[in-house]
Homo-oligomer: A and B are copies of this chain.
Amino acid sequence: MSLQDFSAAEEQAMRLALSEARRGLRGANPLVGAAILDAGGRVIASGYHRGAGHPHAEVEALATLPAGTEPATLSGATMVVTLEPCNHHGRTGPCAAAVADAGIGTLIYASADQTQAAGGADFLRQHGVRVRSGLLGDEALDLNQRWFKAKAAGRPFTTMHVAQTLDGLIAAADGTSQWITSEAARQDSHEIRSRVDAIIAGTGTVFADDPRLTARTASGEPASNQPLRVVMGYRDVPEHAAVRGDDGRFLQVRSHEAEAVLKSLASRGVAHAMIEGGATVAGAFLQADLVDELVLYLAPMLLGAGTRSTAPLGISTLSDAARWRWDSTGGGHTINLGADLRLHLEPEPDGTMPAVRKGH
C-alpha cells in the first residue's frame, strides 16, 4: 500500500503517534505510540507505551478519549498506531481485542509485528475493524530497529551504562572509581536497574569492587523490582561476595562470550538486560555488536591515566570505528544530571561493528 492511500490527516496523526512513541523507554518492549482521529480527521486522543509493565499505546490512547465519547464517534474514528497491535496475552491483555472492544472503526498501523505477538491485524479484521498498514512504516521500523534485531535473534534487549570522565576513564590509576559521577547520575542508573530483568558484570568487577548490583531507590532502600544479578567469567565468585545476596537472584555464567551469556539469560525469560561492566565485559558485548542502547554518564573531570571504559574492540583504523547515533527517545539524547551529562545513544542501523556492517 503506497503513501497516497493515506490522507494528510492520517499521516499527520501517525507523525504524532511516532513522536508519542519516542517518549517511551527502551527495553523489553518496543516503543509504540498511537493516536485516535474522529471522522473529521481531528485528533481526539493519543498515548504511548511507557515501558515494560505499563499499558500498551493503544490502551493508553483509548484512556485519553474525552469523557462520554459516543460509540458512534468511535465507529467513525480511526486509530493510528506505529506497530501492529499485539494479539497475545503478555504482561497486559491483547491490544487487538481492546481496540475491537472499544468499537474503533478503522485502524492504521505503520509497521507489522514480526514476533510472537503478531496476528493483531487478522484478529481486528475478523472483528469488523477496517485495517490498513504501511503509513510511515520505514520510520516506525527504524525507531525499533535494534529491538526487532534482538527479538529476531531470540535474545534480550541490552542497555549498557558507562560512568566515565571526559577522557573516557572509569577509574583512576590506583583503581579508585567511587564516585566519578554525581549522586543524580548514580540514582539514574539505579532507576535503569529497577527496570531491567538482569544486570551483568564481570568477575573482575566483583573482585575489584564487590558490588551488590541491586537496584536502590533515592533513599537507599531496595527498589521493588530487583534484577537477576549475573556475573560472567570463569573465576569462582567468592561465597561472601555481596553480589550473591540472599534472595536467590544470583547467577554465574561461566563464559566470556556475550552471545552465550545472552542465550543463557533468554532461556530464563530475561527480556531486558543491563550491562554494568567493567571494561572486559563492555568490550565483549560491544565487539559482538550486542549492545542495543548506550547510556553514558559524562563527569566534567579529567584523569589523564586510569582504566579505559572498554577493552580493545579489535578496531585498528578509523574507518572501522564502531558507529552509534544519538537517541532522543525517553527524554532527549543529552540531559543534565547533577554535575554530569547523560548521553543516550543507539547503534547505527547497519550495526556498530565493521565486520557486521560489511556483511561478514
Is A312 at the interface (CB under 8 A from chain B)?
yes
* Chain A residues engaging chain B, CB cutoff 8 angstroms: 164-169, 171-174, 176-180, 283, 286-287, 294, 296, 298, 300-305, 308-326, 334, 336, 339, 341, 343, 345, 352
A317 touches B286 (CB 8 A): no
A208 → B minimal CB distance (Å) = 14
Q: Which residues of B contact A311 (CB under 8 A)?
A: 304
Q: Which residues of B contact A172 (CB under 8 A)?
A: 315-318, 320-321
A173 touches B302 (CB 8 A): no
Q: Which residues of B contact A171 (CB under 8 A)?
A: 318
A317 touches B169 (CB 8 A): no
A336 → B minimal CB distance (Å) = 8
B318 touches A180 (CB 8 A): yes
- Given the contacts A166-B168, A321-B172, A304 and B300 also touching, CB distance less than 8 Å: no
* Shortest Cβ distance from A165 into B: residue: B321
Q: Which residues of B contact A173 (CB under 8 A)?
A: 315-317
B286 touches A318 (CB 8 A): no
A283 touches B310 (CB 8 A): no
B166 touches A318 (CB 8 A): no
Total copies of the chain: 2
- Given the contacts A169-B168, A341-B334, A302 and B324 also touching, CB distance less than 8 Å: yes
B301 touches A321 (CB 8 A): yes
A312 touches B305 (CB 8 A): yes
B304 touches A322 (CB 8 A): yes
* CA A309 to CA B315, docked complex, whole Å: 17
* Shortest Cβ distance from A179 into B: residue: B318
Q: Which residues of B contact A315 (CB under 8 A)?
A: 172-173, 302-305
Q: Which residues of B contact A165 (CB under 8 A)?
A: 168, 321
Across the interface, A314 reaches (CB within 8 A) one of B180, B296, B304, B341, namely: B304
- 5 A-B contact pairs sorted by A residue (CB < 8 Å): A165-B168, A171-B318, A298-B343, A303-B321, A305-B313
B296 touches A174 (CB 8 A): no
* CA A311 to CA B167, docked complex, whole Å: 10
* CA A339 to CA B324, docked complex, whole Å: 10
Q: Given A166-B324, A174-B316, A180-B321, output 12 extra A-B contacts at Cβ < 8 Å.
A: A164-B168, A166-B343, A171-B318, A172-B318, A177-B318, A179-B318, A300-B325, A303-B313, A303-B315, A303-B322, A305-B315, A325-B339
* CA A315 to CA B304, docked complex, whole Å: 7
Q: Which residues of B contact A310 (CB under 8 A)?
A: 167, 302, 304
A357 → B minimal CB distance (Å) = 12
Query: Which of A169, A311, A314 has the most chain B CB within a 10 Å cutoff?
Result: A169
